Amino acid sequence: MIQLGLSGFYHDSAAALVIDGKVICAIEEEKLSGEKHDSSFPFKAIQWCLEYVKITIDEVDMVCWYENPKDKFERVRETIGKWGGLRYPMKWRKFIKRWNETEGNLKGILKSIGYDGEILYSLHHHSHLALSYYTSPFDKAIGLSIDGVGESHTIYAAMCDETGFHTIQTLHFPHSLGLVYSAFTTYLGFKPNEGEYKVMGLAPYGDKQQYNGVFDKIATMGGEFDIVKMDMSYFTWETSDNDMFNQQLIDLIGFPPRFKDEPIEQHHKDLAASLQRWYESALYFLINRITNIWECENLVLGGGCAYNGTANGKIKTSTSIKNVFIPFAPSDSGSAIGACLYQYHIVMGNPKVKGGDNQSPYLGEEWSSPELLKIILQNHRKKVVMFDTDEMLCKQVAKLIEEGNIIGWFQGRTEFGARALGNRSILANPHLSDIRDRINKVVKKREMFRPFAPSVTIEDYQKYFLSEEDVPYMNQVVKVKKDVNIPSVTHVDNSARIQTLKREDNPLYYDLLKEFEKLTGTPILLNTSFNLKDHTMTNDPQKAIWTFHNCDMDYLVLGKFLISK
């Protein structure tokens, strides 16, 4: 059974190939096109997946699309009808034109690349939950998907077990935690569906009580049917394709929206802090409401809001949940995999693998040593050293990092999802207090308030961080213990978004952490994604070498090769 899973046309388009329930490969379109959050149909990703598995499109048994286009169409039609179809004829025409070029013509688009077979659809939130639940270690769990909007739901909660998904609670458009967060992301001068993590990084610098009155006005929690209800007099996403808020919200906040190049002032930090506090209170209210009715200690999260690591890290202390699992790609890209798993397990009835399966995020491209050497010789004319063994490589790289060098680390298969997890990473010494500012300024070339994440070996993470469970995909923010001195990965509020690492998941990166421990006493490295600001995560060796030459990185490791300037 060969399934081709696809997501696209909104953001983070992707393709995945799943054979007999096993994810063989997956990649986002942006990693091949170079366009951040590429929303176009994933032609390049499909072609790469087929070439990786060495099959043709006519060998695919089914295409699994990540949502239901018919339901989405009905939601848009009802929304425009609600506001008076005759009042918005241009809006309707614009939607119909785009629809006929995208999801409304999905069969025609697939036919253009040679596929004329079966297309199966799952609900948007079902695709999210399928990835989260079927890759989790739990036999039974509360599944919670929180997004901007799917077809018509913005929140979908279900009891997930061996018999399927059993709906517990939903929230309908236009009421949406995700869209509120995106609206304030826009207000603060960042790009929605991309800049939310910047707001999370900015929030610890602000006073989270300063704008409580704003959020008390715009939303209420605790209705009998609506978990959260927004006052839509402040927001315009229901009637506008271009704006998310109006003058009434500006008047309520009391200062104008920030343009992206304007300075960030204290009131911006305070608004970010208040927004994050509000989102967390809504999330924990929702979880507590569910667990008061459905007794279950396990939670799996999906949807774009599952990337809110700050909120995720407090779930166990703010609710009755004891165990949390969040997959490596909880947003729409991961739904290319989730759509396949939904059809394979729920529709076809194949049982969940006990203990979870398909947990590796390393699903993308890789290059052999001869291929890497050829590319290096074509793109780099200076010193190159090849190491005969992984042990020798790790010893040398650990020494360079300990000495204060910033290393580009390019190994194995590209990660799937938004996080660099040790294969497409920039690495540095977490003990050096000035290294964070240096990376932000002359390597990543981005905002100076942005924090960096620590990678730590699974056996040792509790020595340094206040976390009760491993966090393999860097999706929870936890507190750093008071006596631990790792300033370059410790945020202003004494927190860190950790990645815990088992050797079996990534042996080479794990061994590098252990070599660094021999030199410094701590198996921790600063780990950030291998890219410059406004560029996608590095996928191929050519882009790795280009990035190396266009910033103040000290060394680049491509496989067994160490490149210097």
SS3 per-residue string spanning 272-292: HHHHHHHHHHHHHHHHHHHHC
Distance CA 413, CA 182 (A): 32
477-480 and 62-65: which strand pairing?
A: unpaired
Q: What is the pTM of this model?
A: 0.96
Q: Environment class of residue 259 by beta-carbon count within 10 Å: exposed (0-12), middle (13-18) or buried (19+)?
A: exposed
Distance CA 258, CA 236 (A): 18
Task: Give me the count of residues in the chain.
Answer: 565
45 and 14 in contact (C-beta within 8 Å)? yes
Distance CA 404, CA 402 (A): 5
User: 403 CB contacts (<8 Å, ≥6 apart)?
Assistant: none
Model pLDDT, residue 469: 87
Q: State which amino acid sits at residue 15.
A: A
Domains of the chain, by residue range, sit at 2-128+335-347, 136-326, 369-564
List Cα–Cα distances, 273 to 208, 311, 450, 466, 492, in angstroms: 4, 12, 15, 22, 13
Per-residue pLDDT 10s for the chain (565 aa) are 999 999 999 989 999 999 999 999 999 999 999 999 999 999 999 999 999 999 999 999 999 999 999 999 999 888 876 665 556 677 788 889 999 999 999 999 999 999 999 999 999 999 999 999 999 999 999 999 999 999 999 999 999 999 999 999 999 999 999 999 999 999 999 999 889 999 999 999 999 999 999 999 999 987 665 678 999 999 999 888 788 999 999 999 999 999 988 999 999 999 999 999 999 999 999 999 999 888 899 999 999 999 999 999 999 999 999 999 999 999 999 999 999 999 999 999 999 988 788 999 999 999 999 999 999 999 877 889 999 999 999 999 999 999 999 999 999 999 999 999 999 999 999 999 999 999 999 898 888 889 999 999 999 999 999 988 899 999 999 999 999 999 999 999 999 999 999 999 999 999 999 999 999 999 999 999 999 998 999 999 999 999 999 999 999 999 999 999 8
Model pLDDT, residue 215: 96
Same fold for the pair 136-326 and 369-564 = no
Neighbours of 118 (CB within 10 A): 10
Model pLDDT, residue 319: 96
- Helix, strand, coil percent content, the chain, rounded in steps of 5: 40, 20, 40
How many alpha carbons lie under 13 Å from residue 45 in its C-beta half-sphere? 32
CATH no., domain 369-564:
3.90.870.20
Distance CA 391, CA 397 (A): 10
Supply 228's token pair.
């959260």
Model pLDDT, residue 293: 86
Is CATH 3.40.50.1980 correct for 136-326?
A: no
358 and 337 in contact (C-beta within 8 Å)? yes
Q: Which alpha helices (DSSP H) does 42-101 contain, by range? A: 43-53, 69-82, 89-101
Our measurement of the distance from residue 549's CA atom to the centroid of its chain's CA atoms, rounded to an integer in Å, reads 27
Question: From the CA atom positions of the chain, what is the Rg in Å?
Answer: 23
Model pLDDT, residue 206: 97
Distance CA 176, CA 186 (A): 15
Give 63's strand partners: 4, 119
DSSP state letters, 256-274:
PPPPTTSPP-HHHHHHHHH
CATH architecture of 2-128+335-347: 2-Layer Sandwich (3.30)
Return the DSSP state at 327. -
Give 14's strand partners: 7, 28
Our measurement of the distance from residue 4's CA atom to the centroid of its chain's CA atoms, rounded to an integer in Å, reads 21
Distance CA 150, CA 36 (A): 21
CA angle 521, 470, 302 (to 5 degrees): 140
Model pLDDT, residue 387: 97
User: Helix, strand, or coil here: 86?
Assistant: helix
24 and 52 in contact (C-beta within 8 Å)? yes
Supply 20's token pair.
């007999």
CA 483, 486, 488, 490 dihedral sign is: negative
User: Helix, strand, or coil here: 157?
Assistant: strand
